[in-house]
Amino acid sequence: MPGTLFFQSDLQNPYVVYHRMLEKKPVYWDETNKIWAIYSYDYCVDILKNINAQIPVVNPNNEQKLNAYSLKILSNLTRLSNGIEHEISKEIATLLFSNIKSIEISAIISPLLENNRVDDKMDWVNSVCKKLPVLVLLKSFGFEEYDCIFISEKIVSIIPIMLPQKTEEQVSLLNEHSEKLFSIVEKHLSSLAFFETGINKMSDQYNLSAKEIIVITVSNFIGLCIQSFDAGRGILSNSLLQIMGYNTFLNKMEIEKAVIENLRFDPPIHNTRRIAVADFYIGESQIKKGNLILIVLASANRDFKKFKNAMAFDIDRVNNHENLTFGIGGHMCLAKHFSIHLATEALWFLFQNKTISLVEN
């Protein structure tokens, strides 16, 4: 059996590995790396919904020497919390999304396309994919232009906060920018009409001080910025590639269907991790307390038992929306609909206004 841990870029086609594992060993113990790898759709769902499979702790005892602001952000992210802390963080993230304002995405993408074009050529990833999702999020909450510029430029240095291992350079940049980033977000969110009422309500509900709720709220907004940059660029990039290979689309609805199918067919994030906090079974395999678990979402999304003709890109497959790219259950990513809408609007604008072709790999 192949090793389970590799960078997606290490293999020309990681789906070949996933397909083989789906057929031969959908639940696989990797003795070398001491981790369970889960490849099938049903077993991935079982793990994602299992209360005994929790998010592993990142940076225990602050081994990575993060400063106070980096620690605040890391400790309060919805994606990295369990139990009651997760419930509080999730409710706060829901509060943020419920107060997001609709904006014209074309007004943001248009200057990105025009200002970064040289001889009718542009770098789609660096010019649009790494900027548009974060800018749309920030402008949806009314951040000032100079704050949008700072955050969109520096968010790349905050991305490694999610990594279980970080280099000294990553920690240094993270610590360098985290205080100013936290301060900007706190100041702006505090000025919004919904903020004080929402903070006070949750402070009473969970018997926490308003200051504690504010820290969780600011941290989770920064988490949304991280997700926008990290996953947003992948959704925009992968969707563009698939759409360009799919002849033509007649309307925005077909573009949206293509984005959803691409989230199944070629998601930006291939896996996520859990750790067992008690013994339990997946199929006939016993997962023991303390075992690490790799949930291979990209493999589950191409499970032939769940998706008909799973290796084909088909926007009309009736259950494409059941992909696991954004998770399922309590830890499902709240940015799912935001991301799909953003990618749909951006790509529809692109194809309506431009004749597109790839000039290089």
Which amino acid belongs to residue 272? T
Q: Please say whether the beta carbons of 240 and 347 come within 8 A.
A: yes
Which residues constitute the domain of residue 223?
A: 8-353
What was the pLDDT predicted at 78?
A: 61
Q: What is the pTM of this model?
A: 0.88
* Structure tokens given for 142: 């009314």
At CA 146, angle to CA 144 and CA 149, rounded to 5? 110
Determine which helix (DSSP H) or strand (DSSP E) holds 17, and give its type and residue range. Answer: helix 14-24
Q: How far apart are CA 244 and CA 100, in angstroms?
A: 31
Count of domains forming the chain: 1
What was the pLDDT predicted at 59?
A: 80
Domain assignment of residue 251, yes or no: yes
* Structure tokens given for 82: 């369990």
Domain assignment of residue 235, yes or no: yes
What was the pLDDT predicted at 122?
A: 86
What was the pLDDT predicted at 169?
A: 96
Domain assignment of residue 141, yes or no: yes
> What one-character DSSP code corresponds to residue 335?
T
Q: Please say whether the beta carbons of 68 and 79 come within 8 A.
A: no
Beta bridge partners of 272: 295
Domain assignment of residue 170, yes or no: yes
| Residues in contact with 132: Cβ distance below 8 Å, sequence separation at least 6, in sequence order | 105, 108, 109, 112, 232, 236, 342, 346
Residue-level pLDDT, tens digit, the chain, 361 residues: 457 887 777 778 899 999 999 999 999 999 999 999 999 999 999 999 998 998 888 888 889 999 999 999 988 876 555 566 778 877 888 888 888 898 999 999 999 988 888 888 888 999 999 999 999 999 999 999 999 999 999 999 999 998 888 999 999 999 999 999 999 999 999 999 899 898 998 888 888 899 989 998 999 899 889 988 888 899 999 999 888 877 666 788 999 999 999 999 999 889 999 999 999 999 999 999 999 999 999 999 999 999 999 999 999 999 999 999 988 866 567 677 888 999 999 999 988 876 778 887 6
Determine which helix (DSSP H) or strand (DSSP E) holds 193, and give its type and residue range. Answer: helix 193-206
What was the pLDDT predicted at 186?
A: 96
Using DSSP bridges, classify how beta strands 292-296 and 35-38 pair: parallel, antiparallel or unpaired.
parallel
Domain assignment of residue 286, yes or no: yes
* Structure tokens given for 16: 């070949």
What was the pLDDT predicted at 332?
A: 64
What was the pLDDT predicted at 31?
A: 93
In 10 A of CB 101, how many CB atoms?
A: 8
Q: Can you give the CATH number for the domain in which 40 is found? A: 1.10.630.10
Strand ranges for 25-108 from DSSP E: 27-30, 35-38, 53-54
103-124 per-position pLDDT tens digit:
999 999 999 988 888 888 888 9
What was the pLDDT predicted at 190?
A: 93
Domain assignment of residue 2, yes or no: no
Q: From residue 340, give the alpha-carbon distance in Å to each of 106, 229, 234.
A: 15, 14, 12
What was the pLDDT predicted at 12?
A: 82
In 10 A of CB 323, how many CB atoms?
A: 23
Domain assignment of residue 347, yes or no: yes
Q: How far apart are CA 12 and CA 215, in angstroms?
A: 42
Using DSSP bridges, classify how beta strands 35-38 and 27-30 pair: parallel, antiparallel or unpaired.
antiparallel
What was the pLDDT predicted at 42?
A: 97
* The dihedral sign for the CA sequence 171, 234, 5, 226: positive
Which amino acid belongs to residue 304? F
Domain assignment of residue 199, yes or no: yes
What was the pLDDT predicted at 330?
A: 62
